[in-house]
Amino acid sequence: MGNLKLSQHISRRYNEELEDIRSRVLAMGGLVEEQLKQAMQALESLNEDLAREVIDNDVKVNALEVSTDEECAVILARRQPAASDLRLVVAVIKTITDLERIGDEAKRIARMTRRLVYYDGASRLFTQIVILGERVRKMVHGTLDAFIHLDTETAAKIWSEDRFVDREYESLIRELMTYMMEDPHSIPVIVRAIFVARAIERIGDRAGNICEYVIYLVKGKDVRHTRVDQQPEG
């Protein structure tokens, strides 16, 4: 676990407000994780009803982002937090933005799935994409766990995994392009498959971003735009 200890304040209400925004991140993360899980299940089975459910549920994620953002704004204006409290509020604002975008990518996967349902043989093209999606879903889960426990070791490990996701994505795109050149009739399906793969890769990027916020929250150090081997110590 990281070395951050969130301040305890004379005002019990202030403590409750800080704990509430943390809880909101976890609630939103749970919704997004379920959304991603269902999107990948819908893709694997080409289940149009499940894909539609993912799309419909996105409104819940959006609403929670807006309400949490508003609560953070109130805390900034009313409490004028400093030090670790300020880092918490900033980290929450950034995290909910990336969680909302993960939800958007899950919705995009679901939309592509609905268009693929009627293509014969589409499911056999998605084995590698589903495997990549499952890896990214585990990244999202681990990222949320790191946020809950303020665990910088787990955050740094997941942060480094994004490089492997990028490489797998590039390999997958090359494979899909080869398939498309060999069978021009498959172009409509392959184009949609590429959109799905790109959405999954972006989710990995968002999970990596949240890991950066965890490190910032605990250590007070900004590791954006640095390599994993350049991560600050202590």
Summarize the confidence of residues 8-30 as an average pLDDT. 88
Residue 225: what pLDDT?
Answer: 61
Residue 10: what pLDDT?
Answer: 56
Q: Tell me, yes or no, whether 234 lies in a domain.
A: no
Q: Tell me, yes or no, whether 106 lies in a domain.
A: yes
Q: Which domain holds residue 152?
A: 12-226
Q: Tell me, yes or no, whether 3 lies in a domain.
A: no
Query: Angle at the Cα of 226 (from 224 to 227), degrees rounded to 5?
Result: 130
Residue 232: what pLDDT?
Answer: 45
Q: Tell me, yes or no, whether 222 lies in a domain.
A: yes
CA–CA separation, 176 vs 129, rounded Å? 10
CA–CA separation, 138 vs 150, rounded Å? 18
Q: HSE (CB half, 13 Å, CA atoms) of 131?
A: 8
Q: pLDDT tens across 22-39, in order?
A: 999 999 999 999 999 999
Q: Is the pTM of this model over 0.95?
A: no
In 3D, which of 137, 129, 113, 106 has the Cα closest to residue 176? Answer: 129
Q: Tell me, yes or no, whether 38 lies in a domain.
A: yes
Residue 4: what pLDDT?
Answer: 55
**pLDDT at 187 exceeding the cut of 50:** yes
Residue 173: what pLDDT?
Answer: 93
Three-state DSSP string of 129-179 = HHHHHHHHHHHHHHHHHHHHHCCHHHHHHHHHHHHHHHHHHHHHHHHHHHH
Q: pLDDT tens across 129-178, in order?
A: 999 999 999 999 999 999 999 999 999 999 999 899 999 999 999 988 98
Summarize the confidence of residues 33-55 as an average pLDDT. 95
CA–CA separation, 79 vs 17, rounded Å? 10
Q: Tell me, yes or no, whether 187 lies in a domain.
A: yes
DSSP 92: H
- Give the whole-number percent of the chain exceeding pLDDT 90: 69
Can you give the CATH number for the domain in which 46 is found? Answer: 1.20.58.220
Could you tell me the pLDDT band of residue 226, with boundaries at 50, 70 and 90? low
Q: pLDDT tens across 89-117, in order?
A: 999 999 999 999 999 999 999 999 998 87
Residue 227: what pLDDT?
Answer: 52
Residue 66: what pLDDT?
Answer: 97
Residue 189: what pLDDT?
Answer: 86
Could you tell me the pLDDT band of residue 234, with boundaries at 50, 70 and 90? very low
Q: Tell me, yes or no, whether 126 lies in a domain.
A: yes
**pLDDT at 123 exceeding the cut of 70:** no
Q: Tell me, yes or no, whether 6 lies in a domain.
A: no
Overall number of domains in the chain = 1
